[in-house]
Amino acid sequence: MSAEEIREYCISKKGVTEGFPFDSETLVFKVAGKMFLLIGLDSNPVQFNVKCDPQKAIELREKYDFVRPGYHMSKAHWNTIICEGRTSKKLIYAWIDDSYDLIVQSLPKKQKEAFLKS
């Protein structure tokens, strides 16, 4: 899976913005101003960080050797996914969806209602 495919999927989601707040190589995707995915554009193979429920994060790391604790992130809440062609796009997209949904669900009630209505 390419970085461009991941980027296209992320920006297709409602309310997503993208930018380079850290450096010129790390593209960050946010929803409602909060990060849900970071991808290193120069990494080979493609790698990205996604937010994850802490218990699920541990389960995924135990099940898949290409899922690791989040690089430069809170190890409890973030996973690094290494795209070496050993899993389906469907599963990768599901992990991106989970990260996005965690952010949306964590918004304060009024902000979440406004976001969902827009």
How confident is the prediction along the chain (118 residues), in pLDDT tens digits per residue? Answer: 899 999 999 999 999 999 999 999 999 999 999 999 999 999 999 999 999 999 999 999 999 999 999 888 888 899 999 998 888 999 999 999 999 999 999 999 988 888 778 7
Q: CA-CA distances (angstroms) from residue 117 to 11, 14, 109, 113?
A: 18, 11, 12, 6
pTM: 0.92
The domains found in the chain, sorted by start residue, are: 3-117 (3.90.1150.30)
- Which H or E run contains 114? helix 109-117
Q: Note whether 47 and 82 are within 8 A (CB).
A: yes
